[in-house]
Amino acid sequence: MRVSTPAFVLRRVRWSDSSLILTLYSLDYGRVSAMARGALRPKGKFLGRMELFSQGEFQLARREGRELDTATEASVIKHNLALRTGSRAFAGAGLFTEWLLSVVSHGNEPSGPVYRLVEEVFSLLEAGAPPWPIICGGVAKLLQLSGHGFSTDTCVACGAKVDAAVLWSHSSGGVVCGKCGETGFSVKSGIISFLSRAGSSSLESLARVSLWSDGYIQCHSLLKDYAQVHLERRLLLKSEKVMKEILDAGQ
Ligand SMILES: [Zn+2]
């Protein structure tokens, strides 16, 4: 079956002198892997059309029951050049991609909202937005869209409105009130209010939220610990260290 779908290139693995295996997130099929024969040929038809983090229209030959598709045609929708050339944007796009590939496994249902989230995250990073709020806000939205959402305003145990001193429980799924909070630990209210905003605001408006120095690193750690409990596996986020090193963690 030959199909055509818009997709983002999330990973490129060299398969031979001239071929790549691509990991794509596509609008119509979700996460897919595709062999791109000749992708590395200097004068090949794929030259410049399968760059990391770029968005393209891909023609894929798919076979029932096969995990690896074959890319037969590709054209660029958006190059996203700054995501490959700017160190901040590159680290941000890399970290969000690692999250996406951790949360969305092979065989997942395609999701228009997830596709549009990737599009928004990449566009904002490409335009020079501060990466930390985009990553933290984007990951919060991604967890919600993939069925791992959390509560930020009502106690997950009894439903009471929660404010002031905030306790958090990974296993319960978000904030817990003082009465139910035996298993909870305290989290700075600035992080909870950011995550609450992330549930309802656009990423563009979240990009303007500044936290204290280290605030977003703490927020990211909370999201990572939470996701590890709910996905029941360790997340290896290699870009996290790079992000911490090159960026001012307050924004
Ligand atoms: Zn409660």
CATH 1.20.1440.120 in the chain is located at: 87-246
Helix (H, G, I), strand (E, B) or coil at 195: helix
For residue 162, how far is its CA from the centre of ligand 1 (angstroms)? Answer: 8
Q: Is the domain 87-246 a CATH 1.20.1440.120 member?
A: yes
The arithmetic mean of pLDDT across residues 170-180, rounded, is 90
Give the neighbor-by-neighbor strand order of the sheet with 174-176: 174-176, 167-169, 185-186
pLDDT single digits (tens) 126-168: 999 999 999 999 999 999 999 999 999 999 989 989 876 689 9
β-strand pairing of 68-78 with 30-36:
parallel
Alpha-carbon span 243 to 249, nearest angstrom: 9
CA distances from 65 to 30, 62, 69, 70, 112 (A): 15, 9, 10, 14, 23
pLDDT single digits (tens) 194-244: 999 999 999 999 999 999 888 999 999 999 999 999 999 999 999 998 888
Token duo for residue 109: 């249902």
For residue 163, how far is its CA from the centre of ligand 1 (angstroms)? Answer: 11
| Class at the top of the CATH hierarchy for domain 2-79 | mainly beta
Grade residue 90 by pLDDT with cuts at 50, 70 and 90: very high
Concatenated DSSP letters for 81-94? Answer: THHHH-HHHHHHHH
Global model pTM greater than 0.75: yes
For residue 154, how far is its CA from the centre of ligand 1 (angstroms)? Answer: 8
In the predicted model, is pLDDT for residue 248 greater than 70?
no
CATH 2.40.50.140 in the chain is located at: 2-79
